[in-house]
Structure 1
Amino acid sequence: MGPVPGGEQIMFRIETEKELLGAFRSRDRKHVELPKGIQLPLFVRDYLAWVDPYGVRVFLVFTAPGAKKPTGIAFRRDQQGDKTLTARVCDWCRAHGSADQIGLLTTDVDSKRRVGVNLCLDLRCNEKLEAAANMGGRSVQDDMKQLIERMARFAEEALGMELPRREPLTSHPEGQWPGASRHWPPHGVSPTSCLCRPWACRRPARSPASAARARSTTAPSARPPEAA
C-alpha cells in the first residue's frame, strides 16, 4: 500500500481490506463500514471518501504529501448546526453551499474531546475543485495539492496524528489559515469552541456550578468610572 506513479496527480494503491482499515486510528476502526461493492486492490486518485448507509458517518482516506501510507479519518455529521444559515463555505475547498451541502463534521481527539470543521458533507471537494478549474480553463493540480495539505494539517494539528512524511507541509504566516497558534488546544479558549482555528474544539460541557465558579474567577471586577 502506498503512492503509485501518476505524474502530477496524487495517487495511491490499497491492496487489501486490512490495509484500508489499518489507515484509520484504532479508536475509529470499529465505526468504519466499507463502501458497498468496493473491489480491492484499489487505485485511488486524490483521496477516497464515502458516507455510511445511514448518512451519519463520513470516512476519508488520503495520503499526506511525502507519506508512504494513507491516513484515515472517521467523521460524524453534527446535527446541531444552525440550519438558518443558507450559505456556507467549506473550510477545505472553499466551495459555497447550503446547509444540506456543507456542515459541521466532527471526530474524536480522545475520550474527552471532539473537534469539528465545516466541510462538504459528502467530502466531494475534489469534484468541486475540478469543476471550478475546468470553468476557469486551468489545471486543478495545485488546488488539489492544497486540499490534501489541509487534510494532513487537520490530522496532525487537530487530532495529534503522526503522519510519516518526507516533505513538510506548506508553511503559513502566523494568524492565517490553517492555524495561528502551535498550541492545541489553545490556552484560555471557550470550552465549546476554539475560534483561532478553522475547526472547533468541542469538550464536555461543565456543570452550572463549575461554570459559575469559572465566571466569578475570570470575569473582571466592576468598578465605578473615575471622575474626570
Structure 2
Amino acid sequence: MQTQLNNFVKENSFAIESEAELIQAFRPRDQKKLVLPEKLKFPLNVRSYFTWKEPSGVYTYLIFKMPNWDLPRGVAFKRSASTGEPVGGLCSWCHAYGTSDEIGMLSVSMSSNVSSSYLICHDLSCIEKIEDNAAMSGKEPDKYIAELYYRMEKLFENISGYKPE
C-alpha cells in the first residue's frame, strides 16, 4: 500500500510470504551468492525496502518493490575494497555525506564480464537518512523519498534490461 501527499510517494509497503519468495526475488546470478539473515521470520512486512549485509560484509542485499510491479525484486551489491586513507563521499541516491567507510562503490554484476557500479551508502540506509535530514531541516521528506524510489527503480530497469553483446 502506498500513501500520497503532494503527489509524492511517501511510503511503499509490501510483504514477502516465504523464504522461497524472497530467494525468487533475486536474479539467478544473485541467488548463487545469497546469504539470508539468521532468524528471519515470515511473512516479512517491508516498509519501503529491505536490506541486509552478509557476515563478511562483501555483499549487501536489497529487496525493493514499486507499486506497479507484480513482485518484489532483489539485487546483490558487491562492496569494492577501499584502499588508503578514508575520504569523504556523497551518496548518489540520498545525497548524504560520509566517509569511505560509510559511502563507497557498490557494484552489481550484469554478466560474467560486466558490472555496474554505484556510489551509495554501504548499508543502504538512504531512506532513514532522508527522513533524518528532512526532520532536522524542517522539510517534508516526500519529494526526496520519491526521488530515491525513482533511482532504485532505474537500477532495477538497468539490470533487467541489460543485454550482453
* TM-score band, normalised by shorter chain: 0.7 to 0.9
Whole-angstrom distance in 2 between the partners of 1:55 and 1:85 = 17
Whole-angstrom distance in 1 between the partners of 2:26 and 2:127 = 21
Whole-angstrom distance in 2 between the partners of 1:82 and 1:64 = 36
Counterpart code for 1:23:
A
1:84 to 1:65, Cα distance in 2 relative to 1, 3 A: farther
- The answer as to whether partners of 2:2 and 2:67 remain within 8 angstroms in 1 is no
Listed as ranges, the matches of 1:94-109 within 5 Å are 94-109=95-110
CA offset at residue 90 of structure 1?
Answer: 0.6
> Cα RMSD over matched residues?
2.0
What is residue 66 of structure 1 aligned with on the other side?
68
CA offset at residue 139 of structure 1?
Answer: 2.5
5+ residue gaps, structure 2, are 5-10
Larger Rg computed on CA atoms = 1
CA offset at residue 84 of structure 1?
Answer: 3.9
Q: Is 1:25 matched up with 2:17?
A: no
Higher strand fraction (1 or 2): 2
TM-score of the aligned structures, taking structure 2 as reference length: 0.88
CA offset at residue 140 of structure 1?
Answer: 1.9
Listed as ranges, the matches of 1:105-124 within 5 Å are 105-124=106-125
What is residue 3 of structure 2 aligned with on the other side?
7
Higher relative contact order (CA 8 A, sep 6+): 2
What is residue 7 of structure 2 aligned with on the other side?
none
Aligned residues: 158
- The answer as to whether partners of 1:11 and 1:43 remain within 8 angstroms in 2 is yes
- The answer as to whether partners of 1:61 and 1:72 remain within 8 angstroms in 2 is yes
TM-score of the aligned structures, taking structure 1 as reference length: 0.65
5+ residue gaps, structure 1, are 163-182, 186-228
